[in-house]
């Protein structure tokens, strides 16, 4: 269960309105790497965490913080939109290039749909959606995704930091940048701790099926693009980070598989077919070895 | 420019058809962490890479390989669908529980839309889309996303490996698992190399604005969820992985910001308003200090 | 800013696992009228509310509660999935019709993607997205949308209540149904109060432009479908709920507008055109009456 | 079955082209509360209505009208785009701030994709989709959604009315505003009539399970956000609109449920797990009490 | 403006309910090539048609018919769902394999969301959206898309025809198949007529820029996949259908372009960069030759 | 399996940067008819082609070429964005109308998300998705879709050709236009060849069920829109292109079907219902004629 305080986690007061920046700031709210993403990603990871204790508690701490980041940004957007020429006509925009520049750079839906507020969309008006998050239950895989999300988030924040000179906006973004720095380090540390605790001992997620996969194909980088400098990288020779494999670089790889052919089609599905692959197979569902197969056999 | 050979990179021959597994396998084709994602993610990263040389070449090598993985899986799906009871009627399914079980577990569009083949969708029929990828230009941020994507991809492959007992399918998945192992290690190694080369020297992406962000807020994990075990983790004290910050755990954090209030609205947008926040600001676009502001001043 | 307690708002303990019901329950999490929708709808409405005081506080109270409802449902889904035959093969499903029935009714992504947990998607696997919510700033319009959302939500909950006979699940749903009852009444009451407070005095949202719109067209229902019983309803005659208009039913309406014709096209856009609508207009951007038009006139 | 007349329901003749407004007007065509939404929402409600007679006829009357509203707006957009500088180059736009203002505010796809016409998308270019509508079969729930949709629609129309000063456009919008006024009143009246007819007697949709839900939880608003003014509203005490419940305001609510814990995971899905929740349950599908269970028991 | 009659264009009476087929039939309603697509595609093409007369009238005739096809299918779905075991519990499904087979093959949202009716989604529950249609203004391009859409539509209808043995359903589908046959022939005929009328004289859409494009590259098929049988096709030599070009098959094509390199990045966007491409260009917006450039020059 | 060369298929060197055009060019990358669409459409068609030989080889040749077209466009976008004022502030844009015009016309995500590169989205920022393609297995239906896609693609390319005056961009587009010309002719030729080879002998896809569909309904165009000029077209009389049907134009068509009524609802789904359609049917799943029905009968 959650509780809310009316105070923002940190300041979100622009010195002046700036509707063009309010448009861009939507990226940090509803973009693929915005605050809604980390909120929902951490919440679902936390709810799905299979172990009570420090990992689950950490995830829920940060998840709960991130809801407040969406809040800060939504309030900032509303303030940046104050006094925007949202209801100016085209004629006014054409007569005044300053209004023209502003109107061309605004998000029309912030006015028409949201009445001068933020929306759960990105800076191109595309809505946030549930496919932006991942919560797989495997903490190594998920924490790596978290560190990656915080990196993209900090990168976008840094770019936006350079697109404004409003001291109030920069004040808030300096806080956001710092939190993204912390959270990157934190998830990287948590990955180390998963390994130290023996929960996910190697760098390969999941730590499983390593004996069943074809080891020889876990060694070779295939040279398939004609720039050959990749053979000079540290990934071309030497031990892999998991300490279990060697890197090799396969300069002239050949395809190992058969021809990429599709089987003869079910005639009732009307694929174009000349018979060259032989007769289509009738529905053959496999060995019916269970009780039902036996009963059916008896009855027929 | 690309070239194609008709041979698959590796075998994709199931011992028997299995339309239910063909349905699930769509996740590895068109899911958020399927092969279409890594294909397009690496292609756009490669095309947008700002440095000729080993990094760009590596990205293009792997990107080119991944197109061939989509191919292997698409061919496997077509083969698994051979002889599926796709055109059986409900009546037949009700009369035979084996057909019933198969029909309930099939993807109806693989028959109706694709005529017995694969589609660029995931295992719930949701189409692959461009928001599944990231190509930011910052290689540290992107390689971390790549390592994360390969981890989720291998995890899903491993789960699917447990959902089949067809030796031919397992044969192919053992290859895929191995490639995902290699690619995880490879991107982790490439991150090390970016640091070794001095291109992205710290663990924090982007390596920028570290002096401008508020350092004190890059140290403290806020305790906002009442399970307190997070304070016992390695992230609660000690140095952060970037070697520049310390971790601290803030047990009783208080909100630092002002009240989350939205400003008075533009009356022409008809937000409900009682006047308590004062008069709405008229459009005030800022200091028009450029040539146009000056001319406008003169003319008016 | 938000805080979290590890206890659920209400119980979410199924008596037994039921993966088929876990699939259906996704509708209440990530469906268009699920708990993620009311969470985000109320949060954005609250953040964008232009008046401190009872309305804003009410919205934030309920918004904060709804995050906890997503939590309850997510935990319930994970528990319902315990021991699901997620990793059973098709062969096993074909041999045992009980497993077959379950596998046909499961969401494959709950296993493959989420590792046995909930996802931010609906019961067909379609992801929640930001277009599901509305937060317009006009409280009459938004509270009406809230009452409508709670009605659809309670309706879906009631349907799902009939699709299970697990006492633990029914226990939770009895709580959810009650909350949806309360919230419907609450938003209806809040609409009354907006009117009583004189903030939105009539039933028509927004309470504006009533003098400018064509009053005669706010009276007549047009008979455009040949079933004529609509003329017998209370909406065919008598006063309208806003107390300002009368209802009339227009039995033989005729189109009032001109022919639906598109103008001659820009030849550079290559629309097929025979010249019958005359010459295309060249770019004529309107009167350039502002400072720039004047300068341009001088310069040219 | 439908028929069409070439005349528009009402005039759609702008005095002058205005490509910037044509961009914004897309919101009323393909936006979440645009005319495509009410068209499809009412059509599906009508087709799914379970009672011949006045309700079904009313729904079909209005549904049929709304298709004509999409038509009016599509024609208006084509006319507003006449002579737009769609094929102007960037260089031209940079040389002439009037063209610059117009090009910045245009929808590029109206030219590139639609050749100077309307598209089924909103004012940010996001396509209309089927999730924008609701047709549940329950007329109380659906009519409330209809009244809500007409309110948002009229609100957006009113905002757009303020963004143009073209008399021809305003002429059309005065008609649209009036229809939205009528339709709000009409759906509110239809809700009254459903109650008067005894079909949906209370304000709570659906009118069902009121005896099974937990009555005590249908009374209390939980205080979860620290602004306390919500306790002063009419929803804090007194009878609820349904005449069956009282409102109370719970000032210090405590969570009623258990800890939000996920159960031990299926090991084949590779969730990170330390064993602290005990052994994972094997697939236990419930009591197999039907004929098959019995046969299976006999056979094994 | 549109009108509606309560009678369906053709019969839609199944002999018996069949909820599994109701699920599949959604493809013809809300799928990419379902009836909603042709409805909206033809409506937008008609509204955007630049010539009054036979083409526009034909488009509007067929568009209006297609709305009625959505209606037929929606009614059919509601009838097929009559008596579906939608509210059966998992326990019941597990006890009775017939119910199990049916429940596994049903669309859960048809019950939970639509109350036993159709929805604007496809057979995997993915919503219809505006990107499914095309209306470009160029009638040659659009009629070709129409013929293609009718072909896919008829193909899917034919596949579904084979998935039912209900005489009532087949009765309706025999009508639908016939309309799709007619519409394919009709659009092909309309293409011939566009050419005969001299409106779009060649087979290449648009009939423009044929003198400016590089003629030599309009002749050669590039051999980029190693199966060489493509050189045996009629497209390898001889005249092209437009009567203006010859076909040739380029057996050993070489890339004609430069290296695929991205330019030096803006340092404020933090792309990883080693300086090897030289200094990034500062913002250089081109020749400001218009009035503003001149004024700016004077002022500075 | 695929291979890559670092050289582009053709030149992609703009004379000057042009970020506004870079925004528009996204349509050719990630739009519904952009190069990603033809790439994926042809790849899936090729992988799903049921006949080794010339058709499959042709499809794979062209599919492989199209990946290289995405590459050319992505590189062109990166080059056009060089030196874009992406990090300029609103204040700077307001002070300089040239910057204002550019910023208003840019895609904000090309800077914030992609760091100055292309993305897999269209010119309104909407992501490419898997529903944009079709690969049905029926080559007549698919080749017709291919010819249609190439037509829309060439049309959009031609429009964009008119929106730039950069000689380097025009140089590339002249190549693209020519390829689209060739590919249109090529697919049209391939359709002729399918017929010549007897694989799909008539113009109607699929070439099936022509004897079962209602022939009389494959003849008549229904006059449902009041413009009557459609009766003057070549489609109103005479033989149809398939040589098997005649065209007729039905001037006064009447609906042939029954009333569009939905059946009585399942009471547990709470559709509003007055009983006028009789009692709802209980779950009646059809004749259980298979082995299971028989066993069940015995047991009960």
Residues E131-164 have pLDDT tens digits of 999 999 999 999 999 999 999 999 999 999 999 9
- The contacts of residue F208 (CB under 8 Å, 6+ apart) are A270, E158
**The two three-digit tokens of residue D190, written as one number:** 């239809």
From chain F, pick out residues whose CB is under 8 angstroms from the CB of B63.
Answer: 4
**Residue for token digits 């060249």?**
C282
E262: DSSP letter: P
From chain C, pick out residues whose CB is under 8 angstroms from the CB of A78.
Answer: 47-48
Residues E50 and C272: their CA atoms lie apart, in Å, by 7
Contacting D residues, span 183-202, partner chain F, CB-CB under 8 Å = 194, 197, 199-200
From chain A, pick out residues whose CB is under 8 angstroms from the CB of B75.
Answer: 260-262
Chains in contact with F via at least 3 Cβ–Cβ pairs below 8 Å: A, B, C, D, E
Q: With 0.90 as the threshold, say if the pTM is over it.
A: yes
Spatial CA neighbour of B82 closest among B18, B157, B1, B173: B18
Q: Are C3 and B225 in contact (CB under 8 A)?
A: yes
**The two three-digit tokens of residue A16, written as one number:** 């002046």
Residues D62 and D193: their CA atoms lie apart, in Å, by 17
State whether C155 and F268 contact (CB < 8 Å).
no
State whether B114 and F48 contact (CB < 8 Å).
yes
Q: Are B79 and B12 in contact (CB under 8 A)?
A: yes
State whether A3 and C64 contact (CB < 8 Å).
yes
CA angle E294, E295, E298 (to 5 degrees): 90
Residues F227 and E61: their CA atoms lie apart, in Å, by 9
Is the model's pLDDT at B141 over the cut of 70? yes
Q: Are C147 and C191 in contact (CB under 8 A)?
A: yes
Q: Are B150 and B38 in contact (CB under 8 A)?
A: yes
pLDDT score at D290: 66
- From the number of C-beta atoms within 10 Å of its C-beta (0-12, 13-18, 19+), residue A279 rates as exposed
Question: For D134-166, where are the alpha helices, taking DSSP H only?
Answer: 139-161
Report the first-to-last Cα separation within chain B, whole angstroms. Answer: 58
pLDDT score at F289: 60
**The two three-digit tokens of residue E72, written as one number:** 């037929």
Q: Which of B112, B197, B204 to mutate to test the interface with E (most CBs of E within 10 A)?
A: B112
Q: How far is F213 from chain C (nearest CA, A)?
A: 30
Spatial CA neighbour of F230 closest among E71, E7, E189: E189
State whether D94 and F102 contact (CB < 8 Å).
yes
pLDDT band at C228 (very low <50, low <70, confident <90, very high): confident
Q: Which of E26, E90, E94 to mutate to test the interface with C (most CBs of C within 10 A)?
A: E90
Residues D81 and D70: their CA atoms lie apart, in Å, by 17
From chain E, pick out residues whose CB is under 8 angstroms from the CB of C20.
Answer: 90, 93, 103
Q: Indicate the CATH number for domain B210-278.
A: 3.30.1530.10
* pLDDT tens across the length of chain D (300 residues): 999 999 999 999 999 999 999 999 999 999 999 999 999 999 999 999 999 999 999 999 999 999 999 999 999 999 999 999 999 999 888 888 788 888 889 999 999 999 999 999 999 999 999 999 999 999 999 999 999 999 999 999 999 999 999 999 999 999 999 999 999 999 999 999 999 999 999 999 999 999 999 999 999 999 999 998 999 999 999 999 999 999 999 999 999 999 999 999 999 999 999 999 899 887 666 445 666 666 666 666
Residues E238 and E71: their CA atoms lie apart, in Å, by 48
Contacting D residues, span 23-42, partner chain C, CB-CB under 8 Å = 32-33
pLDDT score at D159: 98
Chains in contact with D via at least 3 Cβ–Cβ pairs below 8 Å: A, B, C, E, F
**What is the domain class of B19-196 according to CATH?**
mainly alpha
Is the model's pLDDT at E284 over the cut of 70? no
State whether D121 and F122 contact (CB < 8 Å).
no
Complex confidence, ipTM: 0.95
What is the sign, positive or negative, of the torsion defined by CA atoms of D159, D160, D165, D170? negative
CA angle E148, E125, F143 (to 5 degrees): 15
Which position has the higher pLDDT, D289 or E27?
E27
Spatial CA neighbour of D144 closest among D199, D192, D101: D192
**The two three-digit tokens of residue E21, written as one number:** 């087929």
pLDDT score at A290: 67
Average pLDDT (A101-115) is 94
The answer to whether residue D293 neighbours chain F at the CB level (below 8 Å) is: no
How confident is the model over F105-117, as pLDDT tens digits? 999 999 999 999 9
- The contacts of residue C78 (CB under 8 Å, 6+ apart) are A47, A48, C116, C117, C118, D262, D263
Is the model's pLDDT at A295 over the cut of 80? no
Give the pairing type, strands C248-250 and C220-222. Answer: parallel
The answer to whether residue C118 neighbours chain D at the CB level (below 8 Å) is: no
Mean pLDDT lowest among A95-109, A133-147, B157-171: A95-109
pLDDT score at F95: 82
The Cβ of residue E197 has, within 10 Å, a number of other Cβ atoms equal to: 15
The ranges assigned to domains in chain C are 19-196, 215-250
State whether C94 and B100 contact (CB < 8 Å).
no
pLDDT score at D287: 46
From chain E, pick out residues whose CB is under 8 angstroms from the CB of C277.
Answer: 50-52
From chain E, pick out residues whose CB is under 8 angstroms from the CB of A159.
Answer: 268-270
DSSP chain A: -EEE-SB-SS----SS--HHHHHHHHHHHHSTTSHHHHHHHHHHHHHT-SSTTHHHHHHHHHHHHHHHHHHHHHHHHHHHTTT--TT--HHHHHH-HHHHHHHHHS-HHHHHTTSSS--SB-TTSPBPBGGG----S-HHHHHHHHHHHHHHHHHHHHHHHTT---HHHHHHHHHHHHHHHHHHHHHHHHHHHHHHTTSS-SSSSSS--TTTS-GGGGTEEE--BS--GGGGSTTSSSB-TTSS-B-EEESS----S-B--PPPPPGGGT----STT-SPPP-------SHHHHHHHHH-
Which of C44, C286, C292 shows the shortest C-beta gap to A118?
C44
Query: Of all residues in chain C, what percent carry a pLDDT higher than 90?
Result: 86
Average pLDDT (B122-137) is 98
How confident is the model over F44-90, as pLDDT tens digits? 999 999 999 999 999 999 999 999 999 999 999 999 999 999 999 99
What does each C-alpha distance from D85 to B40, C16, D260, F204 come to in angstroms?
35, 65, 59, 42
Burial C8-47 (b: 16+ CB within 10 A, else e): bbbbbbbebbbbbbbbbbbbbbbbbbbbbbbbbbbbbbbb
Spatial CA neighbour of D39 closest among C134, C227, E71: E71
CATH topology for F210-277 is: manganese catalase, domain 2, chain A (3.30.1530)
Stated length of chain E: 300
Is the model's pLDDT at F287 over the cut of 50? no
pLDDT band at E286 (very low <50, low <70, confident <90, very high): low
How far, in whole angstroms, is CA A224 from its chain's centroid? 28
The answer to whether residue B234 neighbours chain A at the CB level (below 8 Å) is: yes
Q: Which of B124, B162, B279 to mutate to test the interface with C (most CBs of C within 10 A)?
A: B124
> Searching chain F, which residue's CA lies closest to the CA of residue D122?
F124
The answer to whether residue C205 neighbours chain D at the CB level (below 8 Å) is: yes
What does each C-alpha distance from B207 to A177, B138, B194 come to in angstroms?
11, 10, 12
**The two three-digit tokens of residue A134, written as one number:** 């991942």
pLDDT band at C285 (very low <50, low <70, confident <90, very high): low
How confident is the model over E66-103, as pLDDT tens digits? 999 999 999 999 999 999 999 999 988 888 878 888 88
The answer to whether residue F71 neighbours chain A at the CB level (below 8 Å) is: no
Is the model's pLDDT at B284 over the cut of 70? no
pLDDT band at B286 (very low <50, low <70, confident <90, very high): low
pLDDT score at F97: 80
Q: How far is A127 from chain B (nearest CA, A)?
A: 11
């Amino acid at each position: 269960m959650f509780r809310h305080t009316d105070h923002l986690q940190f300041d979100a007061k622009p010195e002046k309105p700036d509707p063009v920046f309010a448009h861009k700031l939507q990226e940090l709210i509803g973009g693929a790497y915005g605050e809604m993403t980390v909120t929902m990603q951490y919440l679902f990871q936390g709810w799905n965490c299979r172990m009570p204790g420090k990992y689950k508690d950490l995830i829920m701490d940060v998840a709960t913080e991130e809801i407040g980041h969406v809040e800060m940004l939504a309030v900032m957007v509303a303030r940046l939109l104050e006094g925007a020429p949202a209801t100016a006509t085209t004629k006014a925009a054409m007569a005044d290039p300053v209004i023209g520049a502003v109107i061309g750079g605004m998000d029309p839906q912030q006015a028409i749909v949201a009445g001068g507020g933020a929306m759960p969309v990105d800076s191109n008006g595309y809505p946030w959606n549930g496919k932006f998050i991942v919560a797989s239950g495997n903490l190594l895989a998920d924490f790596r995704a978290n560190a990656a999300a915080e990196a993209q988030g900090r990168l976008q924040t840094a770019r936006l930091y350079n697109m404004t000179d409003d001291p109030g906006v920069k004040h808030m973004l300096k806080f956001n940048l710092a939190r993204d720095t912390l959270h990157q380090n934190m998830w990287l540390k948590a990955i180390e701790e998963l390994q130290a605790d023996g929960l996910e001992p190697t760098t390969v997620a999941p730590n499983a099926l390593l004996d069943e996969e074809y080891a020889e194909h876990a060694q070779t980088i295939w040279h398939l693009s004609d720039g050959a400098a990749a053979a000079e990288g540290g990934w071309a020779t030497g031990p892999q980070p998991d300490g279990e494999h060697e890197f090799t670089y396969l300069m002239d790889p050949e395809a190992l598989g058969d021809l990429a052919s599709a089987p003869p089609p079910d005639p009732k599905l009307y694929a174009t077919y000349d018979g060259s692959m032989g007769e289509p197979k009738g529905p053959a569902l496999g060995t019916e070895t269970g009780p039902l197969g036996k009963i059916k056999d008896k009855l027929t």
